[in-house]
Chains A and B, each alone.
Chain A
């Protein structure tokens, strides 16, 4: 296998002057987490005083993800990409449905016990989530934040539970390779070459069940991202487009909470891919928060390097699948104590890109800690 990108040892051209960096750090107005009308928060970061726990989780994936490094942790793996359905969209609905049902069951709840169902996917009008909600008979909030939907839904549920409005919420996200290809790119069997910097949409669904009571890793803080656009307009090179958004949110998080990358056992980004995470490392270094060995990207984690996916996985199912299978399992086992997940999303549509628009990106971060009472 030819190494496409040499990562850390690359001699990147120095792209940013220190002057710009200092200016952008100054841009963040409030320093540290401050007490703001009774709630501990910074400008973007919210710290929960009664952190909700992840009491149940379930993941479903396709064959390719099942054969990857985290495959053994995924709860159910389907060989058939259509899952016996007539089309891929219906298979995607089935996947999400199974993830939600599985998570509710794993948490020892019944669907009628769940106060809120927060879900999102990549399809137009987030139909997959809504069709699953149609069957569930649970109050539903549809969420779209592209691939950062997974962390946005976790953050939203945590806000509502921490505030005391609801007790339990199921946060689910799904993406499917075939439906995403059809929506964003070309027909499946169309013979075209993918550029070496492209990524592969994950066929996977993940659901986390958050609850006020119970035991499990807790969502202790959330940092909401701002839309960041560094002018990238190559729809094939998502990692490069999204890396600045991840940098912006991570830097805001470290700055406002007064932490450093070394304070976490694991720092995860959603689906930057190999190239994107290398760019993020470079950006974070320039921003004054160099990422260490504890940083990894879910997109690079989900596929092995010989699975022919170039830069790694993408899609909102990517971070949801990796988090709800491998990461949370290791957290429950006590291997990781604190995890910072910053899923990144590219908020463009194929139309906006053809119209010459650049790609606006966002990243929402959540902190998950194991063993919090």
Chain B
């Protein structure tokens, strides 16, 4: 048993375990297929159960069980020893420190997805059918390949501050520009509420590529007969954009907006890497981690996680609906 569970640092041993795991997986799947295939006239439910069952089982163990556990935790004391009713939620909604966190999260959800989608849309329309289209698209899409933490570190350098003292050179890009223009360096990450928006820039920088790609594809998918008919009716330029393009890609627009909104609600890496939630920039996801794992307050941490969950549910429902609508249109 120990041989199976502890590979140590012997690569050969690790590979052997990996192969055993794969063989086991294949064997179990084969067994399921074999059993499902066995009866002459299997009922629909039997076949469906055979295929969906394992996935449902794993979902229940990996998602449902911990989710219920978290909800229960959120009504308990910090070490889950006794129930305290809604105390944790009351604190999350009354303590000024947490109100700031909730406010910041609202700001993130309102501003970041809207800007990322808007910039992506405008960019998609502008570069569409231009000579440099491929290159221009690749340029905006590139940041998508960078992890949130990586991007945050890059932007930390952009915002880096060095004092305005003799013999000291700026190392941050933005402050160097300011100094060249004759200004004095600014502590970008300290000035609130501007610093929260500066953090959003990182997310927008990453997500614009995503929105640009999806929106560009759905602009291409607008039937040419509609466009031509509109043109015959005398529409062009902004009118075309506003009356034809936007309504035609509305479902895609909503999907992009809500998908980015979900990413935004979960934003944790950017805040933790850039300010660790200090200087009034914390958001719910960061505070959840802080409470659960730094201050060992499992109750409050769970309450914040549940709050995040509740906020994200309507967005998900809307997102799924629009996705179905978009499919029906097609």
- Judge: A and B partners, yes or no: no
Interface residues of A (CB under 8 A from B): none
Q: Which residues of B contact A (CB under 8 A)?
A: none
